[in-house]
Amino acid sequence: MTTTLDKPVKEPTFRRTSAKRRFVNSTATVLVTLAVLIALIPLVWVLFSVVSRGLDPLLDPDWWQKSQNLMTNRTEGGGAYHAIIGTLFQGLLCAIISVPIGLFVAIYLVEYSNGSRLGKVTTFMVDILTGVPSIVAALFIYSLWITTFGFPRSGFAVSLALVLLMIPVVVRSAEEMLRIVPQDLREASYALGVPKWKTIARVVVPTALSGIVTGIMLALARVMGETAPLLVLVGYTKTVNFDLFDGEMASLPGMMVDQRSGSVVGLADERLWGAALTLILLVAVLNIFAKLVSKFFSPKSV
């Protein structure tokens, strides 16, 4: 007696893809590839222009060790030490303030808001801040910090303006990374009796750490290149200033503006492009460091 289980199973038959579908697929592939190549053209062009025009100053040891004090656009010598220090100090202070606030806001929106009115208002305000121009943030800090409270123009005021620009980017990137963490990980932790705050700190955040760090670096790269807050809130000096709370402070974007405002010939032109390349290198180094940190602290596969 034979059963249905004894009958041979027929191999599934597939119809050949129609010529129309193959044509559409090939066309889409060509269009996507062409779009990528078109997008790469200006990126490669910009990178080539900056490297070719700004590499020579960076090869001089004085570029990393000396400031532009007592130098003019036509004077040989000098470096970008004062601008590098200012950019790092302002960016570091901005990150110290922005990262905890942005991360905690993102954790609240993902883990605690549950569609509450406060969560909706917070999301709406973050969306608004995301599109605020840098000059508006600079003018707000100027009217509040300098005009109302009477504090002097300083690098700290610049960092406060940069905070307004960095927080929404950190919130948005961290929020997206936290949302893609599988819910099963949270439920498994709750099943073991782990409290919610410890689950977030020991399971959720480490799982999403790589993406969070990447978002933070993108936000920091954005604010490090801003110019409007520098011009409004601190000005530019050719000397080294380590005090974030008093006096004018140099920065790489400010150095580019200073070199551009003079006679852009000869050495001034080289220093302008050199400052641009230095800023790109600083951002690249920060990104590499962030990748290493996120890889070290991310969960290890067994």
31 and 159 both lie in a single domain: no
110 alpha-carbon distance from chain centroid:
21
80-139 pLDDT, tens digit per residue, is 888 999 999 999 999 999 999 999 999 999 999 888 899 899 999 998 888 889 999 999
- Cβ–Cβ contacts within 10 Å for residue 267, how many? 18
247 and 165 both lie in a single domain: yes
Distances (CA, A) of 75 to 99, 266, 267, 270: 41, 10, 8, 12
Q: Give the helix ranges, DSSP H, for the chain.
A: 19-58, 62-65, 81-107, 117-130, 134-141, 155-179, 183-191, 196-199, 205-207, 209-224, 228-233, 252-261, 267-297
pTM for the whole structure: 0.82
Quick check: is 75 in a domain?
no
Place 42 in a pLDDT band, splitting at 50, 70 and 90.
very high
- Sign of torsion over alpha carbons 228, 229, 234, 236: negative
pLDDT at residue 302 in the model? 46
32 and 147 both lie in a single domain: no
86 and 161 both lie in a single domain: yes
Distance CA 164, CA 132 (A): 9
158-189 pLDDT, tens digit per residue, is 999 999 999 999 999 999 999 998 989 899 98
Question: Which residues form the domain of 34?
Answer: 20-59
CATH number at 261 reads 1.10.3720.10
Length of the chain: 302
54 and 120 both lie in a single domain: no
The CA R_g of the chain, rounded to the nearest whole Å, is 26
**The tokens of 44 are what?**
């490669």
Spatial CA neighbour of 213 closest among 110, 163, 287, 162: 287
Place 19 in a pLDDT band, splitting at 50, 70 and 90.
confident
pLDDT at residue 90 in the model? 92
130 and 234 both lie in a single domain: yes
Which bin fits 250, alpha (ψ -120 to 50), beta or left (φ > 0)?
beta
Spatial CA neighbour of 271 closest among 17, 68, 40: 68
Quick check: is 3 in a domain?
no
88 and 217 both lie in a single domain: yes
Decide which of 287 and 86 is more confident. Answer: 86
85 and 55 both lie in a single domain: no
Residue type, 33: T
Give the CB-side neighbour count of residue 50, counting CA atoms within 13 A.
Answer: 15
Domain count for the chain:
2
Q: Average pLDDT in the 20-36 region?
A: 92
In degrees rounded to 5, what are phi and psi of residue 63? -60, -35
Spatial CA neighbour of 277 closest among 57, 39, 71: 57
Tell me the CA end-to-end span of the chain in Å, nearest whole number.
51
Contact in structure between 236 and 248 (CB atoms under 8 Å): yes
pLDDT at residue 264 in the model? 47
Quick check: is 209 in a domain?
yes
Beta-carbon contacts of residue 246 (< 8 Å; ≥ 6 apart): 152, 154
Residue type, 76: E
Q: Is 103 exposed, middle or buried (0-12, 13-18, 19+ CB in 10 A)?
A: buried
28 and 127 both lie in a single domain: no
Place 298 in a pLDDT band, splitting at 50, 70 and 90.
low
